[in-house]
Amino acid sequence: GHYIPNTTILNSTLRFLISKSTSVYIYACTESKVKEWRREKTEEKEKKKKTEKLKNNNMGCLHFSPSKTIKPFTLLLLFILFCCTTAAFNDLSTISFDEGYLPLFGDTNGNLVRSPSGRNVRLLLDRFTGSGFISSRMHRYGFFSANIKLPSDNTAGICVAFYTSNADVFEKTHDELDFEFLGNIEGKPWRFQTNLYGNGSTSRGREERYSLWFDPTKEFHRYSILWTAKNVIFYIDETPIREVVRSEEMGGDYPSKPMSLYATIWDASNWATSGGKYKVNYKYAPFVAEFKDFVQGGCPVDPIEESTAAAGCEESDAQLESNDYSVITPRRRLAMRKFRQRYMYYSYCYDTLRYPVPPPECVIIPSEQQHFKDTGRLKFGGSHKRRSRRRGRTPVTSSPVDAFM
């Protein structure tokens, strides 16, 4: 028997990989069943008829009984396939608001509201002020994540931001990684953009803009930023939507100084919706963004003593890079490519008017590039338009990654 954690296995996939006549039992169980599995394995040695019992038990495992011996290399491939391509971030350790964050603004006006448990926070925008919070520590690399639900109804002109930055410490050379959710007029969907700055490179914006495959106002979804010395990955739920790989050519444009995590809601009427055409309508106020299930991983440091603190981050950095979310598996990479094909409507990498020579981190994909104008915006009638006619027939899927498989 072989234990393969946190995996849902389809019969058809296993039968494709394993000969029907094999004598090895393969179990795909949840981690909570490991102890039970081991105990029953011991009992199996004492009772030759245990096989029939296992088939009828209620462990929540898939059971296969073949008749030839599987080679160790084959078992390793099976483990990689079913363990390492699993979609879920099952090991996330969440914290309460007070364990990792402080009010930034709006709390004195009652626009930052914590739940009695301290695990949920609401940020409000009204005609007097917006609101926001900041992490209580700065981190040199990390994983920052939260479940977020956005305001509903007419949200034109609103920006809800979930981002890392150090602009308060390094005013002229700041680094930044952004999720910025852009409101819309009633009946139109929210859109959002991701961005990256390093060493004050604000004149070289690296924006990408997208639509979503769900309504972000109906339920919570997890938005995550992974930041390591090697790469940056933006996630929605367990689907990677963008990766920036560090290269020598990027130089200081790659964020490398300690940053704090921020979340804000504010009036961005001058640019957020249709380039500023639609302003915030405070008739619909207050606008409420909700946050919960916070994750804050990485190495906390003092930015003033960065060089000294960095020496103690090796273990933390290694742990960060060993986590499930630090690897884009082939399955996740395929999901990312399909997301970008269907939902990305602007990319600075394809904006040849702005960047005649694409910035060094850009990976130009010809099949993707053909759908964009030289302004970096999606061509009329591109792949996104063709799909929109069938959007109502999108099947319900078991996981976010499955939505793009």
**Catalytic sites, residue numbers:** 176, 180
Contacts of 48 (CB under 8 A, 6+ apart): none
Q: Within 10 A of 51 (CB to CB), how many other CB atoms are there?
A: 12
Backbone angles phi, psi at 242, to 5 degrees: -160, 140
Query: Do 181 and 160 meet the contact criterion of CB atoms below 8 Å apart?
Result: yes
Query: Do 173 and 199 meet the contact criterion of CB atoms below 8 Å apart?
Result: yes
Q: For residues 111 and 266, what is the distance between their CA atoms, to the nearest angstrom?
A: 11
Report which residue type is found at 109.
N
Alpha-carbon distances of 85 from 77, 215, 332, rounded to whole Å: 11, 26, 7
